[in-house]
């Protein structure tokens, strides 16, 4: 079809398709390298696993107009100071348990998952645990026997018993504490932590 203008021709769009795809993919690869570097555990955005030895809270940053994590002072988990290696081991056990128990098909983690149960991104900091002193014990009890310690908040939705062992429950708590320290660009918005109630 010789009367076809160049911009409407098959060969023109073929070239555009190839260049646009290759260009976009190249940019994605470059950004992926940068993102992985910026988000490795131990950096500014994703703290080292030993953050489980610290107190984690959030404060509204007026300049950035969002809530930012404040990691400040010691707040040991299960009364123990974990070395970097021990902390990673415990968080790994917790992370594997959350996958093995299929948590993500009821809950969301960092907002991703299913919507049948609450978001776990900042579960460690939630006011639902009533006081800082009671929190660890309550979390362990709940994870190991959710039916008896059900927290349904007026719905009849109860977490099923998933045969979580004490060690696994401790791992989950450590994982949740570590996850709550990740800088998520202000998500979830307007989250009031357990410390705000204590003050």
Q: Which of residues 97-126 bind other proteins (CB under 8 A)?
A: 97-106, 108-116, 118-119, 122-123, 126
CB of 143 to other proteins, least distance (A): 11
Looking at residue 135, what DSSP letter applies? H
Q: Is 14 exposed, middle or buried (0-12, 13-18, 19+ CB in 10 A)?
A: exposed
74 or 140: CB nearest other proteins: 140
Q: Is 146 exposed, middle or buried (0-12, 13-18, 19+ CB in 10 A)?
A: middle
6 or 74: CB nearest other proteins: 6
Q: Tell me which residues in 30-89 interact with other proteins (CB under 8 A).
A: 31-32, 34-36, 38-41, 45-46, 49, 88
Distance CA 197, CA 199 (A): 5
74 or 160: CB nearest other proteins: 160
Part of the chain binding other proteins (CB under 8 A), chosen from 70-78, 91-99, 130-138: 91-99
CB of 73 to other proteins, least distance (A): 23
Termini Cα distance of the chain: 77
Please give, one letter per residue, the 3-state secondary structure of 132-162.
Answer: HHHHHHHHHHHHHCCCCCCCCCCCCCCCCCC
Part of the chain binding other proteins (CB under 8 A), chosen from 72-80, 135-143, 164-172: 164-172
Range list of β-strands (E), 54-199: 54-61, 66-74, 108-109, 112-113
Residues whose CB is less than 8 angstroms from the CB of residue 132 and which lie 6 or more positions away in sequence, other chains included: 194, 195, 198
Contact call for residue 132 and other proteins (CB under 8 A): no
CB of 88 to other proteins, least distance (A): 7
User: One symbol per residue from 141 to 160: x for binding other proteins (CB under 8 A), - otherwise; what is it?
Assistant: ------x---xxxxxxxx-x
**Which of 55, 70, 75, 95 is the binder for other proteins (CB under 8 A)?**
95
Q: Pick from 64, 58, 96, 94: which is nearest to 78 by CA?
A: 94
54 or 101: CB nearest other proteins: 101
63 or 74: CB nearest other proteins: 63
């Amino acid at each position: 079809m010789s009367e076809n203008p160049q911009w409407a021709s098959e060969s023109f769009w073929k070239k555009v398709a190839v260049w646009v795809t290759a260009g976009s993919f190249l940019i994605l690869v470059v950004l992926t390298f940068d993102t992985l570097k910026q988000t490795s555990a131990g950096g500014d955005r994703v703290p080292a696993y030993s953050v489980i030895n610290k107190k984690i809270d959030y404060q509204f940053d007026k300049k950035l107009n969002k809530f930012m994590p404040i990691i400040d002072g010691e707040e040991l988990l299960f009364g123990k100071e974990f070395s970097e290696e021990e902390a990673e081991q415990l968080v790994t056990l917790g992370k594997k348990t959350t996958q093995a128990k299929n948590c993500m098909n009821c809950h969301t983690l960092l907002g991703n998952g299913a919507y049948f149960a609450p978001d776990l991104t900042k579960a460690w900091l939630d006011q639902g645990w009533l006081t800082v002193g009671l929190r660890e014990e309550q979390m362990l009890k709940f994870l190991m026997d959710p039916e008896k310690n059900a927290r349904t908040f007026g719905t009849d939705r109860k977490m099923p018993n998933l045969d979580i062992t004490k060690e696994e429950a401790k791992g989950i708590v450590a994982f949740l504490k570590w996850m709550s320290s990740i800088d998520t660009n202000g998500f979830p918005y307007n989250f009031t932590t357990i410390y705000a109630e204590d003050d």
